[in-house]
């Protein structure tokens, strides 16, 4: 607990144009890993454009560790198939949080992160002031697969008694 900085809520919104791994579709789910933590969403049956709309919460002790997102196809009689992966860092989001912003107009863009070879962004990512808090919207292009993107949103949760930012 003494090393805990806070919690990161990863809102897994949806997958877009995911790869077909069964005969005509896939049964995708997302696994998020950071260090020793591993969380996963529910399976969405027969859908290459799934809407998960699920919150997964990571405990953040080392903000420099990458967060790895992997999409799998659930199979009944064989090991689940990989449907691509992406990796991202929360450093820009934490830097924006450290500004301790207050009372901005709803929808104010605080920071923009450009897609590059060093990240898995499919498009520009915005850190935005929404409903009295900062969130980061990310559209991740999956690697090691022919097609597919996953949309997520990050939100920070302060924990009383943690070391904070």
Pairwise CA distance, residues 125 & 28, whole Å: 24
pTM of the shown model: 0.94
pLDDT, tens digit, for every residue of 62-81? 999 999 999 999 998 999 99
What mean pLDDT is reported for the chain?
94
Residues 80-128 have pLDDT tens digits of: 999 999 999 999 999 999 998 998 999 999 999 999 988 999 999 999 9
pLDDT at 2: 59
Tens of pLDDT, residues 16-62 = 999 998 888 999 999 999 999 999 999 999 999 999 999 999 999 99
**Residue 14: is its pLDDT beyond 70?**
yes
């Amino acid at each position: 607990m003494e090393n805990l900085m806070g919690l990161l809520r990863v809102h897994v919104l949806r997958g877009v144009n995911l790869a077909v791994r069964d005969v005509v579709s896939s049964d995708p789910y997302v696994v998020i890993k950071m260090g020793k933590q591993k969380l996963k969403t529910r399976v969405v049956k027969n859908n290459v454009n799934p809407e998960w709309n699920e919150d997964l919460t990571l405990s953040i002790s080392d903000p420099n560790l990458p967060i790895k997102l992997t999409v799998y196809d659930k199979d009944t009689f064989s090991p689940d198939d990989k449907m691509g992966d992406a990796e991202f860092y929360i450093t820009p989001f934490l830097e924006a949080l450290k500004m301790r912003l207050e009372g901005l107009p709803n929808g104010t863009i605080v920071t923009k992160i450009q897609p590059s070879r060093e990240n898995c962004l499919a498009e520009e990512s915005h850190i935005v002031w929404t409903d009295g808090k900062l969130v980061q919207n990310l559209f991740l292009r999956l690697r090691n697969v022919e097609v597919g993107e996953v949309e997520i949103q990050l939100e920070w949760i302060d924990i009383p008694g943690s070391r904070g930012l």
